Structure 1
Amino acid sequence: MAEIHGTCSDRFSGVRDVLSQYLDSGADIGASAAVFVEGEPVVDIWGGFADPDFTKPWERDTITHVFSLTKTMTAISALVLIDRGELDPDAPVARYWPEFAQNGKEDVLVRHVLGHTSGVAGWSEPLSVEDLCDLEKSTAMLARQAPWWKPGTALGYHAFSTGHMVNALTSRITGRTLGQFFAEEICAPLGPDADFHIGTGPECDDRISPLIMGNPAADPSQHNDLARMALFNPLITPVISRTVPWRRAEIGGANGHGNARAAALIQSVVANGGEVGGVRLLSEKTCALAVQEQGSGMDLIMDAPLSWGMGYCTGSPLLEQLFGPRIVGHRIAFWGGGGGSMVVADLDARMTVAYVMNRWLAGSFDARSCGIVQAAYEAIG
């Protein structure tokens, strides 16, 4: 059987069993899982290998690329600015970023950006990977383009653009990039276990586990026109995620690196009323904004029924199917990354569950992350 390292309370042994099954079966190569309840860790486990040759073990401080799970870190950064009164969710984006008020975007509100209803779900112009990593260039492109629909009237997943827009707001308000603000104002106060990075420095390279493709990447031709522009302009694969330029960029929609412990610790701030380990980052009122519905219905990009709060997905008719019946009726702020990672913050159970792995599988709502979440809910009854 796979050797599982770390700590796990007896009550949550089911989570450990599920992770062990994944590693034994080959569903995972290297992975970590964590559960925090009322801001305290009850599960912090890992196992498997950090490389495709099965020679380097996944260690306590191993981190990996988590794609769109990064959006939850961008969201909590925006919530901190909102909580401090520096960012008004009801204000036009152009109040902070005047260049944005072009081509019909004068009435795009901050809440539209966080709720994926702004209509600026991607780039209208062709974009290269190099362009995406060049924040100045790609953000200027967003500023001058027209929205794809009337802002606030429809829901459409902002796959990469939401991070660029929140970075533009953050830098103009604070004088720091999103990655810097996140590191200094969220990770640093929470301590070394908040080991998550929006843009990694060279000091992290030796402990990054590369993503290992477990199946072919999605075929853009199978998606509608809006989805092709939002999800595949440019096309980012696990192979690209291993490159140094990608790691160094600060792409708040997609290029975060971390492990389950870090993801669960940081997002437990939202689940636990804004305070963890004696550190208060948010008020209870601002935490509730995370699950305040901003848009709901058939997502024009994802082609699935979703509900979005202030930077977090809050629900879907699929929620019970994904996470089990015990989650129904709870205030949930969650999202995951392409390939399989996920973090779920439950504001009612005051529980946060995270799963981060290196075996990348194309598709949304990965069954492996859902199995970890279901095991955590079975533990609390």
Structure 2
Amino acid sequence: MSPSALGELLSVFEENFRSRGEIGASVSVWWRGEEVLSAAEGWCEKERTRAWTAGTLVPVYSATKGPAAATLLLALDAKGLGPETLVREVWPAFPVAEATFAHLLSHQCGLAALDRKAAVWDHAEVVAAIEAQAPAWRPGEGHGYHPRTFGTMVDEPVRRLTGKPLGAVWRETIAEPLGLEFWIGLPESEWPRVARLYPGKASAEEMQDGFYKEFNTEGSLPRRAFGSPTGLRSVQEMNDPKAWSAGLPAMGGVGTASALAKFYQAAIGAIESPLNERVRQALGVVRVSGDDRVLMQPTAFSCGCQLDPLDGSGKKVRELYGPSVHGFGHPGAGGSHALGDPDSGVSFAYVMNQMELSVLPGRKSVEMVRALFS
């Protein structure tokens, strides 16, 4: 790991505070089993009553999906099952008969939007709505990001396999053995450590283009997907301990940058961990790639993580996960970002409380990733 690359990354991190509106943030880089960079700066709230430290916890929205997927894969593996197992072998009423867990985890089941209204807080109600849903497309007919339903779609099989909610299984099987300060269902004892989130803003021009134009169109698939199940639509709601403690595997994770970066060290096999080779391969190998029906741009997914999509010549369309075609991870709404690169042995995570309005990582984190691999 180049000291100059780490220095350049730190320069970007500091520039985010000087010119990009950063309030509080942490960044962590691990390399071949060691944390080689941990930086934390700023404040947990605009009033500057609590200094931001490396131990500050913050909600990371969909950056939760990587840890949640690993939990399901490990629970399947413990029963001698895996990505090619039909979902109905575990969840008989799942509405897509031919769907495997690989299809489910790579957003191919067409269940991103629900016709039946269900509250995000009521697991049984969301399960019933999913079971009643006719898929908008089927495996083999493309893919579209499942921003919210993904959580129940991974939680329900874990409950059936283990008798426990996914967040509890995550803590017992992965987080506690690795010493990760990351929770999917935050205990009350940790609430005082959580930073306050602040929503991002977009220009009028941005709101009229691409994804956001569709997102703001009543009845569109992106709008319906990001509203199914209902609830937790505002950043203010995510600042409520109710959201931190609910254990929502699609968007409810709370933790530190160091914990997320260390998780991806485990995911790329750079440290000993409960994640065996079968689970690691599932997390890191592309299962589907192409135009995303929900995000309205090219995406690529493994079993639970994102990779950079490739063009017709095999060149990356973008580099959110570094230059290697094997880099993978998952961002969170507003800007949090985490990745692992098995080729270099590097993992990275960035968390913050001043959000950007973007469904993919924004300039604050992308420039750090670019510096890291320079």
Q: TM-score, normalised by structure 2?
A: 0.89
Matched, 1:150 2:138: yes
C-alpha distance in 2 between matches for 1:82 and 1:9? 40
Match of 1:256 in 2: 253
Shift of the 373–294 alpha-carbon distance from structure 1 to 2, 3 Å rule, reads: same
The answer as to whether partners of 2:309 and 2:318 remain within 8 angstroms in 1 is: no
Report the residue type matching 1:266 in the other structure. F
1:19-58 alignment, distance < 5 Å: 19-58=13-52
User: In proportion to residue count, which structure has more strand?
Assistant: 1
Matched, 1:126 2:120: no
Shift of the 240–166 alpha-carbon distance from structure 1 to 2, 3 Å rule, reads: same
C-alpha distance in 2 between matches for 1:241 and 1:73? 19
C-alpha distance in 2 between matches for 1:197 and 1:284? 24
Shift of the 25–113 alpha-carbon distance from structure 1 to 2, 3 Å rule, reads: same
Secondary structure at the counterpart of residue 29 of structure 2: strand
1:1-381 alignment, distance < 5 Å: 12-100=6-94, 102=95, 105-127=96-118, 131-191=119-179, 194-215=180-201, 220-222=215-217, 225-233=220-228, 234=230, 236-271=233-268, 273=269, 276=271, 279-317=272-310, 322-323=318-319, 327-363=322-358, 364-378=360-374
C-alpha distance in 2 between matches for 1:375 and 1:170? 38
Point out the more displaced range, 9-18 or 24-33.
9-18
1:9, CA displacement in angstroms?
A: 6.0
C-alpha distance in 2 between matches for 1:162 and 1:142? 10
C-alpha distance in 1 between matches for 2:193 and 2:317? 35
Report the residue type matching 2:190 in the other structure. C
C-alpha distance in 1 between matches for 2:140 and 2:288? 8
Shift of the 87–229 alpha-carbon distance from structure 1 to 2, 3 Å rule, reads: farther
The answer as to whether partners of 1:29 and 1:49 remain within 8 angstroms in 2 is: yes
The answer as to whether partners of 1:320 and 1:327 remain within 8 angstroms in 2 is: no
C-alpha distance in 2 between matches for 1:349 and 1:330? 12
Match of 1:4 in 2: none
Shift of the 171–91 alpha-carbon distance from structure 1 to 2, 3 Å rule, reads: same
C-alpha distance in 1 between matches for 2:258 and 2:56? 11
The answer as to whether partners of 1:92 and 1:107 remain within 8 angstroms in 2 is: yes
Indicate the RMSD between aligned Cα atoms, in angstroms: 2.3
Point out the more displaced range, 154-163 or 285-294.
285-294
Report the residue type matching 2:293 in the other structure. L
C-alpha distance in 2 between matches for 1:348 and 1:35? 15
The answer as to whether partners of 1:118 and 1:152 remain within 8 angstroms in 2 is: no
The answer as to whether partners of 1:322 and 1:370 remain within 8 angstroms in 2 is: no
C-alpha distance in 2 between matches for 1:82 and 1:346? 24
The answer as to whether partners of 1:133 and 1:250 remain within 8 angstroms in 2 is: no
1:331, CA displacement in angstroms?
A: 0.4
1:352, CA displacement in angstroms?
A: 0.6
1:86, CA displacement in angstroms?
A: 4.0
Per-residue CA deviations over 1:262-308 (Å, capped at 9, x if unaligned) read 1101121112x2x52xx431233432222322211100000001111
1:71, CA displacement in angstroms?
A: 0.5
Match of 1:5 in 2: none
Q: TM-score, normalised by structure 1?
A: 0.87
Identical aligned pairs, as a percentage? 26
Give the count of matched residue pairs: 358
- Give 5+ residue unaligned stretches, structure 2: none
C-alpha distance in 2 between matches for 1:67 and 1:162? 12
C-alpha distance in 2 between matches for 1:321 and 1:25? 28
The answer as to whether partners of 1:212 and 1:359 remain within 8 angstroms in 2 is: yes
1:91, CA displacement in angstroms?
A: 1.7
1:52, CA displacement in angstroms?
A: 2.0
The answer as to whether partners of 2:309 and 2:317 remain within 8 angstroms in 1 is: no
Shift of the 168–86 alpha-carbon distance from structure 1 to 2, 3 Å rule, reads: farther
C-alpha distance in 1 between matches for 2:249 and 2:48? 31
C-alpha distance in 2 between matches for 1:338 and 1:138? 22
Point out the more displaced range, 46-55 or 231-240.
231-240
- Give 5+ residue unaligned stretches, structure 1: 1-7
1:342, CA displacement in angstroms?
A: 0.4
Secondary structure at the counterpart of residue 27 of structure 1: coil
